[in-house]
């Protein structure tokens, strides 16, 4: 499987993965397709490390890549609440205005 893009600053890039690298194996298990890679990655939790065996040109490399879980959408909402201006004292809650971006 050929890497077509790498998220800048993401765990793959930080581990050394580059565009045009060929992923050969994940934790010594051969990777033959994107669905298989996605399935194998889903078995790992955030914070774990995986080993990717890749081919770069004619050189085989082993990269340690951390698994990072994206934040849940509800967690992102909590980041928007500011106690200084979002506190509804009588209810004991923090509220946020729903704009078009949040509504999606």
Distances (CA, A) of 94 to 30, 37, 56, 74, 76: 49, 40, 50, 14, 14
pTM exceeds cut of 0.85: no
Q: Does 16 share its domain with 56?
A: yes
Residue 104 in tokens? 């999606």
Is position 87 within any domain? yes
**d(C-alpha 95, C-alpha 82), whole Å:** 8
Q: For 38-95, what is each residue's pLDDT tens digit?
A: 888 888 888 889 999 999 999 999 999 999 876 666 666 666 777 777 777 777 777 7
Is position 3 within any domain? no
Task: Look at residue 80 and give its three-state secondary structure.
Answer: helix
Q: Which domain holds residue 90?
A: 73-103
Q: For 1-36, what is each residue's pLDDT tens digit?
A: 899 999 999 999 999 999 999 999 999 999 988 888
**Which one-letter DSSP state was computed for residue 52?**
E
pLDDT given for residue 75 in this prediction: 61
Number of structural domains in the chain: 2
Task: Look at residue 86 and give its three-state secondary structure.
Answer: helix
């Amino acid at each position: 499987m050929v890497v077509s893009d790498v998220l800048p600053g993401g765990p793959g890039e930080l581990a050394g993965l580059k565009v045009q690298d060929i992923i050969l194996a994940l934790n010594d298990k051969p990777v033959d397709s994107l669905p298989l890679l996605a399935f194998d990655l889903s078995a790992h939790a955030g914070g774990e490390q995986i080993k990717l065996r890749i081919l770069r040109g004619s050189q085989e490399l082993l990269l340690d890549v951390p698994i990072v879980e994206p934040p849940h959408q509800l967690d992102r909402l909590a980041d928007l609440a500011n106690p200084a201006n979002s506190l509804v004292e009588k209810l004991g809650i923090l509220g946020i205005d729903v704009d078009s971006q949040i509504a999606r």
